[in-house]
């Protein structure tokens, strides 16, 4: 897609000019206020001059004076300008020479572009390509890991069978159906065409896994085999996630076919998928490691250890925090408001203390327009007065227990929230409002 000069101007940029009769100190104050490095100066003849921090420093050094001793006219210089309809190559050349370019539109200043602005612009474009590449790579990892997790000895062909089932074969199925329809001049119904297509493609080699399209990978990700494993880790609703991936595919097609400018919302959608996949990949590694060490597996999740982690004793911050929890520092006295917020089971905590009341109250105070909120493990422990067991620090099952089936899940279920994502690397959980699921 073609890029234009206007694309490099920061959104909502406000052009601020300075009078040539103003003091240099005033110009510096304006620059500081708006985080500018240069200010344009309009001359009566229509010419545009500029004053920059470099000009000011150079002039003050040569004359051995302070900025308050000079006016703008003493430091201004000819401006580096470019027409709004100019060539991007010319813009890049000007930025390389001067570090900025003032954009003119029929003589009026429409914006100022700096080398920093250009860097951010190109980085934002590169970010899209990087996200798309990472997303495709991580989907491959998720599919392979899930199939490996559910496969038993002798299931070596399970992945290739899944690929053939959901992505067809090396022949373009839609193209083949179109050819069949044309050849029969539309006299054959769709069912007959599908049967003919199935007969023709039977025995043809299936697509190679690494050559699948993004849509093929999307279908594999949401297949029953793969999703049966993913759903053990993520509480993300399948239909909502599918919509995210549909948008991602549209963005990918727009990018690689140069159809339109990618919006910030589309980039953020890619980032959401990227972050989710990153978490899933991390959790799947843990599940596969557990499977590879069956001797350590125990039906009691409290004793399961999925990933070797630094011991609590070696983590001084966590040790200190947990010691305070053990002493009851984060336990709250029962208040009438806290008492009313909790269910019957929560009210049975002995000794007049209530665990979790602060978390319930904290979640209920989240503004109604906020759909989700992140809580660190440390904050969770402080708000609930619960010392998280080792399994909670490593195994998503502890967090994804259905409401009211366990003592700890009532703390968020009672406030009408559910766990959406668990990030063990950053030691945090994301709660989402139940009525938005």
Q: For the chain, what percent of residues have pLDDT higher than 70?
A: 72
Query: pLDDT tens-digit profile of 248-282?
Result: 889 888 888 766 677 878 888 888 888 889 888 88
Report the predicted TM-score, pTM, of the whole model to 2 decimal places.
Answer: 0.48
In order of 13, 37, 81, 101, the CA distances from 110 in angstroms are: 9, 17, 11, 11
Confidence of residue 75 (pLDDT cuts 50, 70, 90): very high
In order of 136, 187, 212, 223, 226, the CA distances from 218 in angstroms are: 9, 34, 10, 9, 11
Round to whole Å and give the CA distance between 124 and 129: 9
Surface-to-core class of residue 198, CB atoms within 10 Å of its CB (0-12 exposed, 13-18 middle, 19+ buried): exposed
User: How is the chain split into domains, by residue range?
Assistant: 5-106, 122-170+205-292, 303-436
The contacts of residue 428 (CB under 8 Å, 6+ apart) are 374, 375, 376, 377, 422
- The arrangement of secondary structure in 5-106, i.e. its CATH architecture, is Roll (3.10)
The contacts of residue 263 (CB under 8 Å, 6+ apart) are none
Round to whole Å and give the CA distance between 23 and 140: 62
Instruction: For residues 185-202, give the mean pLDDT.
Output: 66
Q: Is the pLDDT of residue 419 over 70?
A: yes
Instruction: For residues 425-430, give the mean pLDDT.
Output: 83
CB 224 within 8 A of CB 146: no
Confidence of residue 11 (pLDDT cuts 50, 70, 90): confident
Query: pLDDT tens-digit profile of 88-103?
Result: 899 999 999 889 999 9
Phi first, then psi: give them for residue 355, nearest 5 degrees.
Answer: -85, 140
- The arrangement of secondary structure in 122-170+205-292, i.e. its CATH architecture, is Up-down Bundle (1.20)
Q: Where is mean pLDDT largest: 195-204, 305-314, 369-378?
A: 369-378
Query: What pLDDT score does 332 carry?
Result: 33
Query: What pLDDT score does 337 carry?
Result: 43
Question: DSSP letters of 327-359?
Answer: TTTT-EE--HHHHHHS-TGGGG-STTEETTHHH
122-170+205-292 shares the fold of 5-106: no
Give the distance from CA 9 to its chain's centroid. 25
| 400 vs 151, more confident | 151
Confidence of residue 407 (pLDDT cuts 50, 70, 90): low
How high is the mean pLDDT of the chain? 75
Whole-number CA gyration radius for the chain: 31
Query: What pLDDT score does 176 carry?
Result: 61
Query: pLDDT tens-digit profile of 23-74?
Result: 999 999 998 888 888 999 988 767 899 999 988 999 998 999 988 899 999 9
For residue 292, give both structure tokens: 């590879």
Query: pLDDT tens-digit profile of 294-341?
Result: 554 434 333 332 222 233 233 434 444 444 333 333 333 333 343 344
Strand 81-83 and strand 100-105: the pairing is parallel
Round to whole Å and give the CA distance between 154 and 417: 43
């Amino acid at each position: 897609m073609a890029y234009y000069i206007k694309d490099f101007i920061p959104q909502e940029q406000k052009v601020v000019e300075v009078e040539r009769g103003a003091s240099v100190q005033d110009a510096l104050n304006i620059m500081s206020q708006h985080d500018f490095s240069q200010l344009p100066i309009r001359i009566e003849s229509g010419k545009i001059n500029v004053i920059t921090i470099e000009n000011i420093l150079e002039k003050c050094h040569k004359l051995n004076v302070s900025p308050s001793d000079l006016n703008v006219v003493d430091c201004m210089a000819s401006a580096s300008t470019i027409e709004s309809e100019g060539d991007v190559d010319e813009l890049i050349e000007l930025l390389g020479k001067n570090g900025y370019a003032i954009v003119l539109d029929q003589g009026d200043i429409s914006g100022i572009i700096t080398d920093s602005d250009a860097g951010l612009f190109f980085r934002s474009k590169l970010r899209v390509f990087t996200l798309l590449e990472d997303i495709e790579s991580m989907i491959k990892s998720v599919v392979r890991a899930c199939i490996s997790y559910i496969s038993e000895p002798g299931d070596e062909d399970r992945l290739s069978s899944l690929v053939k089932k959901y992505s067809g074969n090396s022949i373009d199925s839609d193209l083949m159906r179109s050819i069949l329809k044309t050849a029969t001049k539309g006299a054959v119904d769709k069912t007959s065409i599908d049967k003919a297509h199935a007969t023709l493609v039977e025995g043809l080699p299936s697509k190679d896994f690494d050559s699948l399209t993004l849509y093929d990978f999307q279908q594999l990700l949401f297949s029953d085999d793969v999703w049966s494993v993913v759903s053990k880790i993520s509480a993300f609703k399948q239909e909502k996630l599918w919509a995210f991936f549909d948008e991602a595919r549209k963005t990918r097609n727009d990018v690689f076919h140069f159809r339109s400018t990618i919006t910030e919302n589309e980039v953020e959608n890619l980032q959401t998928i990227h972050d989710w996949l990153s978490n899933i990949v991390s959790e799947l590694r843990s599940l596969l490691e557990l499977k590879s060490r069956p001797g350590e597996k125990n039906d009691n999740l409290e004793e399961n250890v999925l990933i070797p982690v630094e011991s609590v004793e070696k983590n001084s911050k966590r040790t200190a925090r947990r010691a305070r929890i053990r002493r009851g520092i984060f336990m709250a006295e029962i208040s009438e408001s806290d008492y009313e917020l909790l269910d019957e089971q929560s009210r049975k905590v002995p000794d007049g203390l209530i665990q979790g009341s602060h978390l319930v109250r904290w979640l209920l105070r989240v503004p109604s327009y906020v759909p989700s909120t992140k809580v660190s493990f440390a904050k969770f422990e402080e708000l609930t007065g619960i010392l998280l067991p080792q399994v909670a620090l490593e195994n998503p099952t502890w967090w994804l227990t259905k409401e009211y089936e366990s003592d700890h899940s009532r703390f968020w279920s009672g406030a009408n929230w559910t766990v959406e994502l668990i990030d063990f690397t950053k030691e945090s959980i994301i709660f989402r409002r139940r009525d938005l699921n």
